[in-house]
Amino acid sequence: MKRIQNMPSGRPLGLLMAGTGMFLVSSDSLFIRIAQPSSGWTIAFMAGAWSVPVVAIAAWRTYGNQLFYEIRKHLKILCFTGLLASFSTTAFTISVTLTSVSNVVAILAAAPILAAFFARLTIREYTSRRTWKSIAGTAVGVLVIVGGSMSGGGIGGDLLALAGISGYAFNLTIWRRYPDLPRILVVLAAAIFIVIVTSIPAAPSTIDGDAFLATLAMGASFGPLARFLLASATRYAPAAEVSLFTPIETVCASIWAWLFFSEIPTNATIIGAIVIVCAVTYGITGPASEVVPELDPHP
């Protein structure tokens, strides 16, 4: 990939989008839990099936008669990013059903590191020292939360979670590289490919009423809006900074469990959550000279 050009200004807006998007994504852990014992394939398929008509209508209202022109114009990159998004979403959903939640949320801490690596490798975007320090802080916070509850076994689920988060991190770099790529079409492509990829192993006829409503909420509202915000955030903020909010999902997942399942957070969870919030706050604040990524001196 070439180095990014003509990136819009508005870093605070990008960070707000990233934080809001990741907060919405954190609800997935709640809805997946409600939808079980349905399989991860089925949950992902139903969520994607709900997303397609909702996002298609939104895209039509946005572009009108120009919709198919925009699709043809960006077809190749839409197919690539949509397939990658479907893979990462499906892999992550299934991983939750194959390994412990503690293992999965620990793997989330790798997202900012992977995003920084992919951004440097493909679009020559450096990550600021302050962001690297913040990444280290969030990783420490996640380890504090899950350190006492990491389980053995479930290696397949762990690898799926790692593959899923890698796909997400690489997609952030793609979205960062193409600021003019229509974000609503990115969300639509992801939903379509999720349905295609999961259609064969899914068993939608087996879901109950709770799973029906949970996947409806995931697919028709929370999921599409979250993906739109995260994809849009990369127009204004570096990929590494956008992914810096990923460990916030760990904090929010604990809050959802407390509110809806009366699971009182442990002391380790509370301490780790404080560390994560402080680390993210540190990473997105401070003098401009410290938070703006360094540029490659040899583009």
Higher pLDDT pick, 154 / 260: 260
Note whether 44 and 198 are within 8 A (CB). Answer: yes
Buried b / exposed e along 242-259 (16+ C-beta atoms within 10 A): bbbbbbbbbbbbbebbee
How far CA 152 is from CA of 93, 99, 264, in Å, comes to: 20, 9, 24
Question: Which of these, 149, 73, 77, lies nearest to 106 by C-alpha position?
Answer: 149
User: CA-CA distance, 46 to 203, in Å (whole number)?
Assistant: 9
> Considering just the CA atoms, what is the radius of gyration of the chain in Å?
19
* pLDDT tens by residue, 127-181: 888 888 888 888 888 788 766 555 555 677 778 888 888 999 999 999 999 999 9
Torsion angle, alpha carbons of 281, 171, 26, 223, to 10: 130
Count of C-beta atoms within a 10 Å radius of residue 264? 9
The amino acid present at 151, given as its one-letter code, is: S
- 125 forms beta bridges with 295
What average pLDDT does this structure show over 269-296?
A: 73
Q: Check pLDDT > 50 for residue 5.
A: no
Q: What's the predicted TM-score (pTM) here? A: 0.84
User: CA-CA distance, 91 to 162, in Å (whole number)?
Assistant: 9
Q: Check pLDDT > 50 for residue 24.
A: yes
Q: Supply the pLDDT for residue 33.
A: 85
Note whether 47 and 270 are within 8 A (CB). Answer: no
Q: Supply the pLDDT for residue 149.
A: 57
* pLDDT tens by residue, 224-236: 999 999 999 999 8
Q: How many Å separate Cα 63 from the centre of its chain?
A: 25
Q: Supply the pLDDT for residue 107.
A: 77
